[in-house]
């Protein structure tokens, strides 16, 4: 190693760091000043599988040279090279030959046994894996079984299971989960939703429905709601999927603006929530009062938040009477006045 180059542990990333499945562990190691990461060269490591072995070796040599040039430009010389996939073995081997670096082989999957690989590809991956394992001074296994396999091959190994540091971990004991079904755009009272989120910071709300960005452009409250992590915007869903999401929620939320258009309507979502024994909290609108059994009318943000919070726990204890009422609101029942009028005209409507 040249005296003006500092030794480094080099992580050969098979994908850019933000897309890498072991991102959390890679980022943890990269906190060390002597650990550096290299994004995959062009073409990617997988290109070796599409080339004859001789041609693949030539490509690997060029890739190794390009990676080493990048390292030297940063004043670093590999002391340890960590590879994460068998397709990286030719490049790792070339780096080892040029620098004398120690190889570590991080085994996080048994890819040569994957069902999406044909027989020829599995054979190639198996051969590359064996070469990587034999050349490595250490095999890092992500599971106990992968560790056993390395030990059966006589390789020195350590167990380093997966980490999920960057995966969100909202409080699982949140008391109330809200559910909103339908249009999200100009009809939505984004200021009310923001006030709800500010008053109940731990409130989770599942929004199912199309979000019409063109209708809320420049709306600061809508922007706030989109960025508020406990609010999950799930897009359109099938009725079956929406019902399952409602099933894990406590209360329906109707976040409509109070205006003449919304005041007259009777949103389907109220009855849909009631069929699962959930009440819907609504603003001071006349139309929803048609189903007074199923709604809680809240004229302002404070009372809206209080009404939502009061429904905590309905995931496991739905309103049984409300559910029975809702299931009785059949098309046959709702059409009864029409049938009577038709019968009075001598028509049979079934």
Determine what percent of the chain is predicted with pLDDT higher than 70.
99
Which range has highest mean pLDDT (114-118, 122-126, 215-219)?
215-219
Give the domains, in start order, of the chain with CATH numbers: 6-159 (3.40.50.2000), 177-333 (3.40.50.2000)
Q: Is the pLDDT score of 1 beyond 70?
A: no
> By the 8 A CB rule, do 276 and 303 touch?
no
Q: In whole numbers, what is the pLDDT of the chain averaged over residues?
A: 93
φ, ψ dihedrals at 23, nearest 5°: -55, -45
Place of tokens 């009372």: 303
Q: Residue 3's pLDDT is what?
A: 61
Q: Residue 213's pLDDT is what?
A: 93
Q: Is the pLDDT score of 149 beyond 80?
A: yes
Summarize pLDDT for 186-215 with one digit per residue, the tens: 999 999 999 999 999 989 999 999 999 999
Task: Give me the half-sphere count of Cα atoms (radius 13 Å) on the Cβ side of residue 273.
Answer: 31
> By the 8 A CB rule, do 269 and 261 touch?
no
Q: Is the pLDDT score of 295 beyond 60?
A: yes
pLDDT average, residue stretch 275-296: 97
> By the 8 A CB rule, do 140 and 157 touch?
yes
> By the 8 A CB rule, do 175 and 312 touch?
yes
Pairing of strands 204-208, 231-235: parallel
Summarize pLDDT for 25-42 with one digit per residue, the tens: 999 999 999 999 999 988
Q: Is the pLDDT score of 66 beyond 60?
A: yes
- DSSP-assigned letters across all residues of 99-154: H-PEEEEEE---GGG-TTS-HHHHHHHHHHHHHHHHH-SEEEESSHHHHHHHHHTT
Q: Residue 2's pLDDT is what?
A: 54
Q: CB under 8 Å to 166, separation ≥6 — which residues?
A: 23, 24, 27
Q: Residue 217's pLDDT is what?
A: 93
Q: Residue 96's pLDDT is what?
A: 95
3-state helix, strand and coil shares in percent for the chain, rounded to the nearest 5? 45, 15, 35
Q: Residue 119's pLDDT is what?
A: 82
Coil/strand/helix, residue 36 = strand
Give the Cβ contact number of residue 280 at 10 Å. Answer: 26
Q: Residue 114's pLDDT is what?
A: 77
β-bridge partners, 38: 12
Q: Residue 18's pLDDT is what?
A: 94
Q: CB under 8 Å to 342, separation ≥6 — which residues?
A: 348, 349
Confidence of residue 175 (pLDDT cuts 50, 70, 90): confident
- Pick 55 or 260 by higher pLDDT: 260
């Amino acid at each position: 190693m040249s005296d003006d180059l500092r030794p480094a542990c080099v992580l050969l990333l098979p994908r850019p760091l933000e897309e890498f499945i072991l991102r959390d562990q890679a980022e943890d190691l990269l906190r060390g000043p002597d650990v550096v990461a290299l994004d995959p060269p062009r073409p990617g490591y997988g290109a070796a599988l599409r080339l004859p072995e001789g041609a693949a070796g030539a490509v690997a040599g060029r890739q190794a040279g390009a990676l080493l040039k990048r390292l030297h430009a940063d004043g670093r010389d590999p002391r340890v090279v960590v590879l994460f996939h068998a397709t990286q073995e030719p490049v790792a081997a070339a780096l080892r030959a040029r620098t004398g670096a120690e190889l570590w082989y991080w085994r996080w999957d048994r890819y040569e046994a994957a069902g999406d690989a044909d027989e020829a590809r599995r054979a190639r991956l198996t051969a590359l894996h064996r070469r990587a394992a034999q050349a490595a001074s250490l095999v890092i296994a992500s599971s106990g079984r992968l560790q056993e396999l390395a030990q059966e091959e006589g390789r020195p190994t350590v167990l380093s299971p997966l980490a999920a540091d960057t995966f969100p971990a909202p409080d699982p004991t949140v008391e109330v989960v809200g559910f909103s079904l339908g249009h999200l755009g100009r009809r939505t009272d984004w200021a009310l939703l923001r006030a709800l989120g500010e008053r109940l910071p731990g409130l989770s709300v599942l929004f199912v429905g199309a979000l019409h960005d063109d209708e809320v452009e420049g709306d600061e409250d809508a922007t706030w709601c989109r960025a508020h992590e406990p609010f999950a915007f799930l897009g359109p869903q099938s009725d079956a999927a929406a019902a399952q999401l409602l099933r894990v929620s406590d209360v329906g939320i109707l976040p409509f603006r109070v205006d003449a258009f919304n005041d007259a309507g009777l949103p389907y979502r109220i009855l849909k929530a009631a069929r699962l024994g959930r009440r819907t909290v609504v603003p001071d609108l006349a139309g929803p009062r048609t189903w007074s059994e199923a709604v809680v009318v809240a004229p302002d943000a404070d009372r809206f938040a209080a009404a939502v919070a009061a429904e905590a726990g309905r995931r496991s204890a739905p309103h049984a009477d409300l559910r029975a009422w809702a299931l009785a609101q059949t098309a046959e029942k709702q059409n009864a006045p029409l049938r009577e009028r038709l019968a009075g005209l001598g028509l049979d409507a079934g």
